[in-house]
Chains A and B, each alone.
Chain A
Amino acid sequence: AQSVTQLGSHVSVSEGALVLLRCNYSSSVPPYLFWYVQYPNQGLQLLLKYTSAATLVKGINGFEAEFKKSETSFHLTKPSAHMSDAAEYFCAVSHTNAGKSTFGDGTTLTVKP
C-alpha cells in the first residue's frame, strides 16, 4: 500500500521568497517519488523524481527536493519564487519508475508580486 500527504492545500509566497511545499509518503516498499506541476486545464509536467539514487534531487525550473527516509518526507523547494511558478503542485509515490502512481491532493502555490 502507498499513500501521499501534502501538507497545506494552499501556499502563498512573495516573489523572490523561498518556496517550500511539503510531502510525506507511506510505502510498504522502497518508494519512487515524484513532483509534478499542473497549470490550469493542462496535463502534468514532471519537475523531478527520486529513484533511490541521490537523496537530494534537482529538477527543472530551479526546483529541488530532498528524500528523508527517517521522516518519510520528500519536500519540494525553490530558493526564489517567480510569478510563473504559480500553479498546482502534486506529489506522487510509486513502487517503480513506471508503474501506477498514487497522488497527493495537491498544493496550490500563489506568488505575490
Chain B
Amino acid sequence: GAVVSQHPSRVICKSGTSVKIECRSLDFQATTMFWYRQFPKQSLMLMATSNEGSKATYEQGVEKDKFLINHASLTLSTLTVTSAHPEDSSFYICSASTGLIYGYTFGSGTRLTVV
C-alpha cells in the first residue's frame, strides 16, 4: 500500500535556528501534499497545500515566510521552520495524495521542540 515516510520523527533545536522536515512518498507519486500542525491534545490544523512544481497554498493565518514549503518532485515535499521560536514547538504531520481514487496517506509526524 501507499507509504509516506516523514523524517525526522523528533527534533530539538535552539531558538533562532531553522529546521527542515521531509515528507516522502515511497511507492507512489504524490501530486499533492498537505502539511498539518497539531498542538498537544488538540486537533490537526491544515497549514498549507503543496503541489509538485508550484508554490504552496497557505491557510489563513499561516506565515509563509516562516514556514517554507518546497515540493520539488513527485515524491518529496519539505517544510522548513525558519527562525524557530518556542511557540513553534508542535507536532507536524504531512499527508500525500495518491489521487482521487486512492485518497491520501499520512506520515508518522515530527515532534519539534524549540528550546
Q: Which residue numbers of A lie inside 8 Å of B, CB to CB?
A: 36, 41-46, 49, 90, 96-106
Contacts A90-B43, A105-B43; is A45 near B99 (CB within 8 Å)?
A: no
Q: Categorize the interface residue count of chain B.
A: 20 to 34
> What are 26 A-B interface contacts by the 8 Å CB criterion?
A41-B91, A41-B109, A41-B111, A42-B108, A42-B109, A43-B4, A43-B106, A43-B107, A44-B44, A44-B95, A45-B106, A46-B105, A46-B106, A90-B44, A96-B100, A97-B100, A97-B101, A97-B103, A98-B32, A98-B102, A99-B97, A103-B43, A103-B44, A103-B45, A105-B42, A106-B43
Chain B residues proximal to chain A, CB less than 8 Å:
4, 6, 9, 32, 34, 42-46, 49, 91, 93, 95, 97-109, 111
Enumerate chain B residues within 8 angstroms of A106, measured Cβ to Cβ. Answer: 42-43
Complex: how many Å from CA A43 to CA B91? Answer: 9
